[in-house]
Amino acid sequence: MKTFTSAGELQQVLREEKSNHKSIGYVATMGYLHEGHATLMEKARKENDIVVLSIFVNPLQFGPNEDFDTYPRDLERDENVAANAGVDYLFYPTVQEMYGEEPSVKVVVQSRTDCLCGRQRPGHFDGVATVLTKFFNIILPDRAYFGKKDAQQVAVIDGLIKDFNFPIQLVAVDTVREEDGLAKSSRNVYLTEGERKEAKELYQSLLRAKEAIASGLMNTATVTSLVKEHIGAHTQGVIDYVEVYQYPELKPQEMLSGNIIIALAVKFKHARLIDNITINVK
Ligand code: AMP
């Protein structure tokens, strides 16, 4: 595995790979890699000749009171995980390398962002779309791999790829979980021991809703209340949102039908956790 900090140098190497008709799979991350990330890399490894991983904590997608400064970082550890997962090229740029002195253009996402994390984190998805536009242009991947844990992000990237005509196949990968069901996340390290025990209840609340829907519950508001009640009863976390939409359109509906997403965000003392499940309601 070779690590690059210069976009130009990586571009040059990847153009050469392309001219030799190599397919490129790309995984974008903010680092502090865990099994969820590794699953994306391993899938990219199976489906492409070359695997590129980026690690970049993107300041553009963090709000002023969010955890940009304290986001966990550990390059040496990440290099090991990446090499073991079969990554060929690791791109690890500085903020200066990505944005220079003062960027003159940014991407603004117009739909699928007035709910969930888009509503709670204004500008977040503009930052995601801007950095990915840059990464897509630098790397020119054939396939890009993203986790369904960030389901709204997948919906936004789907729009970005289509609207900007990127010749990239978006591959959405199932959420990888701890044994007790907690979705793996770089931010889990910031949970206290007590919070970590409670955090499994987030997924339990989603499963409870899924069961209720399977036994005939069709009212969106009731499903939402059920999830909120479960989280309230079993954790000290503060609910940021629990919302139910059609997926991937992220349109509200009073009565559930078709592909739906139940998504939540809960704030613990030093970590805001998100999770979701998608269900096909017949
Ligand atoms: P992040 O480093 O949090 O920006 O995540 C980088 C990529 O890994 C995104 O596409 C995430 O959706 C994906 N990812 C993060 N956690 C998981 C997980 N537990 N299972 C599957 N994919 C994940």
Count CB-CB contacts under 10 A for residue 98: 20
Both 159 and 190 in a single domain?
no
Environment class of 167 (CB within 10 Å of its CB; exposed 0-12, middle 13-18, buried 19+): exposed
Amino acid at residue number 229? E
Secondary structure class of 262 (helix, strand, coil): strand
Find out whether the beta carbon of 29 lies less than 6 Å from any atom of ligand 1: yes
Give residue 101's pLDDT band: very low, low, confident or very high (50, 70, 90).
confident
Grouping H, G, I as helix, E, B as strand and the rest as coil, residue 94 is: coil
**Measured from the CA of 153, which atom of ligand 1 is nearest?**
12
CATH no. for residue 159?
A: 3.40.50.620
Is 40 close to ligand 1, i.e. is its CB under 6 Å away?
yes
Helix (H), strand (E) at residue 209: helix 193-214
Cβ-contact 22, 50 below 8 angstroms: yes
> Which residue's CA is the nearest one to ligand 1's atom 5?
29
Residue 179, pLDDT > 90, answer yes
Structural domain span for residue 267? 186-275
Q: Does 205 lie in the same domain as 89?
A: no
pLDDT in tens, 4-35: 999 999 999 999 999 999 999 999 999 999 99
Q: Which atom of ligand 1 is nearest to the CA of 31?
A: 2
Average pLDDT over residues 48-73: 97
Rounded Cα gap, residues 277 and 30, in angstroms = 23
Examine the domain organization and report whether 233 and 99 are in the same domain.
no
pLDDT tier, 99 (very low <50, low <70, confident <90, very high otherwise): very high
C-alpha 255: how far from chain center: 28
Do 20 and 110 reside in the same domain of the chain?
Answer: yes
210 and 130 in a single domain? The answer is no
> Is 258:281 a contact under the CB 8 Å cutoff?
yes
Q: How confident is the model at residue 165 (pLDDT cuts 50, 70, 90)?
A: very high
Question: Ligand 1 centre and the CA of 225: distance in Å?
Answer: 27
- Does one domain contain both 157 and 200? no
Q: Please determine, for residue 72, whether its predicted confidence score (pLDDT) is greater than 90.
A: yes
Q: Is there a domain that residue 50 lies in?
A: yes
Mean pLDDT of the chain: 97
**Does residue 114 sit in the same domain as residue 193?**
no
> Residues near 101 by Cβ (< 8 Å), separated by ≥ 6?
none
Same domain, 68 and 207: no
Q: Alpha-carbon distance 51 to 54, whole Å?
A: 10
Same domain, 11 and 83: yes
What does the pLDDT look like over 234-275, one tens digit per residue? 999 999 999 999 999 999 999 999 999 999 999 999 999 999
Q: What pLDDT sits at residue 103?
A: 85
Check if the beta carbon of residue 132 is closer than 8 Å to that of residue 157.
yes
Single out the residue of 6, 28, 13, 8 nearest to residue 168, CA to CA.
28
In this structure, are residues 269 and 142 in contact, taking their beta carbons and an 8 Å threshold? Answer: no
Judge if 149 and 19 occupy the same domain: yes
Q: How far is the CA of 150 from the centre of ligand 1 (A)?
A: 7
pLDDT tops 90 at residue 174: yes
**pLDDT band at residue 209 using 50, 70 and 90 as cut-offs:** very high
User: What is the structure's pLDDT at 44?
Assistant: 98
Report which ligand 1 atom has the smallest distance to the Cα of 147.
12
Contact, 202 vs 182, CB < 8 A? yes
Query: pTM of the prediction?
Result: 0.97
The count of domains in the chain is 2
Please give the backbone phi and psi of residue 211, each rounded to the nearest 5 degrees, phi first: -60, -45
Pair 211, 245: CB distance under 8 Å: no
- Dihedral (CA of 228, 233, 235, 236) sign: positive
